Amino acid sequence: MLLTSEPSLQSSCIEFSQVTARPSPPREAPPLAAMLLLLLAALTLASLPAEAGLPFDSKLTTWPRPVTDGPAPEVLPPPTPSALNLTFDPGTWTLTWLCSHDIMVTSCYVNYTLHGRPRMRRMQNTLGCRCQFRALTLHLGVTLGVNATTGNVTIHERLDYIFPGPPGSEAVNVSCEIHDAAAMTCAWEAGPAAPPDARYFLVLRNTTGHELPGCPSGPAPFGCRINDLTGLPDRLHVTVAGSSQSGGALRAYDVILNTKAIERLSPPRNITGSCNASHCAISWVPPRTWAAMSFADFRYELDLRRTDTDTTVTVASRSENRFEFPSPEPREGHVVRVRVGDVRSKRWSAWSAPVKFGADRPAVPRLPVYIIAMAVTLTCVLGLALAWRRFIWHRLLPHIPDIRDKVSDNALVNPQTLRKDLAA
């Protein structure tokens, strides 16, 4: 059947081989049955790609894969279980892991943001199975990691942490300041996504995570005042956390403050002014402060006012706290205000109360003086006149005694009666 079913193919193949075959030495023709079997196999293979709809390339030894639209999906490796089981305590900034004799931790690190700049801390010598970092700000999120080895295999594990709670519910515009050298006031505002009944509370810690006394009044909506500053460190970690009855726990906000930089200075005390014939001097006493500050930490500004001028003078720190300036007599006086600043920052205190000094004694009007002098003079003259008449005049011109009555010895005798008596 096979030999008689393809007579045309057989003749065409013979003709094609005769046309394309290169001249070669004469050899024995292969059997006809073998040629037909080869031809049938070639036709069978040529029909397979057309049926599958795939391009065929005789140079390829393998069939191409089907072409699909878009990139091939990425095959992710199956997740590997954590070998260290990292955990983080935000209250003490401590990263811990599972202790194992087969795993040796070589270092740990933390990536965080401080004042808008990315920072990194690395610890080479770990304490047992933990790393305790110094104060961190966590409200923007941190990334903690551990580098370890087990045998000849290196292990790198990391943990991302951010305060829990709804985003936008944390307090905003948080600020604290120390004032009157004895108290600290912190203020904040509710976050844009905070519920109406949100209340926040303050948590203070030092750089090692030790908690300090906070607000005595408990949770408050907008701020609180702390009257006990005992043990307050130079670097203070402040956390404002919150909660509400409707929304539960709110996201916390934290910040690291320099207590010297947040102190609001009081104005100088005991301001006095004095003048001589040619100069005037102003002296004052530095304000009381909570932080230890010497005279070199202060600078002063004097607002000196006269009748027609207003001068502002900046005085560098000096131990005598005194400022002199020329002011010859006659003068109408001066008015001065003083404030104090910190040389390490741009902070200034409020102005002190104005102090007046250096005015000449007011001139007394001349006319009243003349009137008073004349009145005193006349009074003295009248007094002398009375004294003269009463004492001195009687001594110089003594009084002549009158004739007395012989019978009655009465000096008050009627002169007519006396004449009649004498005539008789």
Q: Is the pLDDT of residue 395 over 80?
A: no
Q: Is the pLDDT of residue 173 over 90?
A: yes
CB atoms within 10 A of CB 251: 20
For 238-265, what is each residue's pLDDT tens digit?
999 998 888 788 999 999 999 888 899 9
For the record, the structure tokens of 412 come out as 């008050």
Mean pLDDT of 210-224: 83
Picking from 284, 350, 271, the residue whose alpha carbon sits closest to that of residue 321 is: 284
**Region class of 38: left (phi > 0), else alpha (psi between -120 and 50), else beta:** alpha
Q: Are strands 355-357 and 310-315 parallel, antiparallel or unpaired?
A: unpaired
Q: Cβ distance 103 to 76 under 8 Å?
A: no
Three-state DSSP at 305 gives: strand
Amino acid identity of 173?
N
Q: In the chain, what are the helix, strand and coil shares in percent, each to the nearest 5?
A: 20, 35, 45
Mean pLDDT of 161-177: 92
Q: What is the signed CA dihedral for 25, 31, 36, 39, rounded to 10 degrees? A: -30
Picking from 356, 358, 333, 334, the residue whose alpha carbon sits closest to that of residue 274 is: 358
Confidence of residue 381 (pLDDT cuts 50, 70, 90): confident
Q: Collect all residues with Cβ–Cβ distance below 8 Å to 36 and sequence separation of at least 6.
A: 2, 3, 6, 10
Distance CA 312, CA 301 (A): 7
For 77-116, what is each residue's pLDDT tens digit?
444 456 788 999 999 999 999 888 888 888 999 999 887 8
Average pLDDT, whole number, for the chain?
A: 76
Read out DSSP for 330-366? S---EEEEEEEEETTSS-B-PPPPPEEE-PPPPPPPH
For 50-84, what is each residue's pLDDT tens digit?
444 444 444 433 444 444 444 444 444 444 456 78
For 295-313, what is each residue's pLDDT tens digit?
888 999 999 987 778 888 8
pTM: 0.60
Q: Is the pLDDT of residue 369 over 80?
A: no
Read out DSSP for 149-196? EETTEEEEEEEEE---S-TT-S-EEEEEEEETTTEEEEEEE--TT--T
Distances (CA, A) of 342 to 116, 247, 265, 301: 25, 44, 8, 11
Distances (CA, A) of 73 to 11, 44, 68, 363, 410: 52, 35, 11, 103, 161
Q: Is the pLDDT of residue 11 over 80?
A: no
For 314-358, what is each residue's pLDDT tens digit?
888 777 889 998 888 887 788 999 999 988 888 899 999 999 988
For the record, the structure tokens of 120 come out as 């990194």
Of 24-28, 157-161, 339-343, the least confident: 24-28
Q: Is the pLDDT of residue 390 over 80?
A: no
Residue 76 is predicted with a pLDDT of 41
Residue 252 is predicted with a pLDDT of 93
